[in-house]
Amino acid sequence: MSEQKDLEKLQAKRAELEAESRSLKEEQKKLEYSVKVLQEQVVIEELSDNNKSAKDAISQLEAKLNDLEKRMKHPSQAPPENPAPPPPPKETMTEVEVAAPPEKKEAPPEPAELTLEDSEDSGVTVTAIDDEALVETQEAQSDKNQEKKKHRFF
């Protein structure tokens, strides 16, 4: 009879484990469903936030567009953002200047002859470049470009 009891115990244990297995599978399905639902909610919230940001940007651009259109229709009401500097006053010649013949000016000095005073007066600095130096610079640049092309393919 002990064999019969052992068999009954094993069958009971098997039934218990099968029931536990079914309940675990049900719980797993519920949890998987909950995860899917939460993932969808997260995606929806992210899309909603992105849409809200896009709508805000659009409304700001529309407001700016409307403002600019109003300025175009009524330019005297709104001051420009970057006002142009006023034109320099026109110089008038006096009678003495008109009657006097213009003085003969010297030819402008060659670029190599410019002094520090000349460059400070005009606000421009001029540097003389020999033709040979210019050609060497151009050749060096073309060599660099060829090296770059070689490196791209290897």
pLDDT at 11: 96
Tens of pLDDT, residue by residue over 10-66, are 999 999 999 999 999 999 999 999 999 999 999 999 999 999 999 999 999 999 999
The token pair that represents 154 in the structure block: 């290897």
Tell me the whole-structure pTM to 2 decimals.
0.39
Does residue 3 surpass a pLDDT of 70? yes
**Domain-by-domain residue ranges, the chain?**
1-78, 111-153
DSSP string, the chain: -HHHHHHHHHHHHHHHHHHHHHHHHHHHHHHHHHHHHHHHHHHHHHHHHHHHHHHHHHHHHHHHHHHHHHHHH-TTTS--SSPPPPPPPPP---HHHHHSPPPPPPPPPPGGG--HHHHHHHT-------HHHHHHHHHHHHHHHHHHHHHHH-
